[in-house]
Structures are given as structure tokens and as C-alpha cells.
Amino acid sequence: MVLTPEEWVRQNTIQYLIKELNIPLSLINVEKQIKLHGTTKRYDIVTFNPDGSIHLIVECKADSIKISQDTFDQIARYNLVLKSTFLMVTNGIDHYYCKMDLQNKRYSFLETLPEYQK
């Protein structure tokens, strides 16, 4: 595997999820395809709850890519299918976190993600 700038961000984010948030490696899934409005997309990182529901979706960009509204729109589209509780967007320098209120179709920004609760 070639360590592209985006892959470097993805690998460091996985370490953050494991070491800082205590998310078990067995509940982390990387680069899988999903069907979205008849097209195939690929997410960067998804973490699961023990019951199989999705806890977190992470969108990784290379450090040279500025996080924009388009980045949030991309992860929000994925979440229409995945229904995650939390969203994270990172380029390895800037990190943004949201908690979803799926029932009311809203989200709120967080300073950081909470530690994983088993």
C-alpha cells in the first residue's frame, strides 16, 4: 500500500480512535463501499456500536485539502444511508466533530468526540 497524504491522515486517525477514544479495533471498518442513490461510494472509516449500529463516520482528506462545506455535504450524504450518531471530518490538521440528532434531522458541532462507551 502506498502511503498517500490521505492514507497518512487515515492511519493517524485510526490510532486516535483506538488510543484516545478507546474504540476497539474490532469495531473499526476502513474503506468499504456503500450504495447511495444508485451509485457506489466509499467511506474512509466507520466505527460500530456492539449492537452493529454505526457509532461514527470519519471522512479523511489530505493535509493539503481545506475542509469545506462540500466535505460536510459528502459525509452528510453518506449518513443518510449509514445513520451514524457522530461524524468527523479531518485533514490531519483541522478536525471537526458533529453529533447527529437523527430524529429531528439536525446536528450540533462538538469540541471533541466523547470517549467510546462499551
Domain assignment of residue 69, yes or no = yes
The number of distinct structural domains making up the chain is 1
> If we measure between CA atoms, which residue out of 44, 26, 18 comes closest to residue 116?
18
pTM for the whole structure:
0.90
Q: Determine the structural domain holding residue 33 and report its residue range.
A: 5-110
Is 70 part of a structural domain of the chain? yes
DSSP, res 77: H
Residue 55 domain-assigned (yes or no): yes
CATH for 20: 3.90.1570.30
Cα–Cα distance, 22 to 58 (Å, whole number):
16
Is residue 67 domain-resident? yes
pLDDT tens-digit map of 60-93: 999 999 999 888 888 888 888 899 999 999 999 9
For residue 104, tell me if it sits in a domain.
Answer: yes
> Per the structure block, which three cell numbers stand in for 91?
485533514
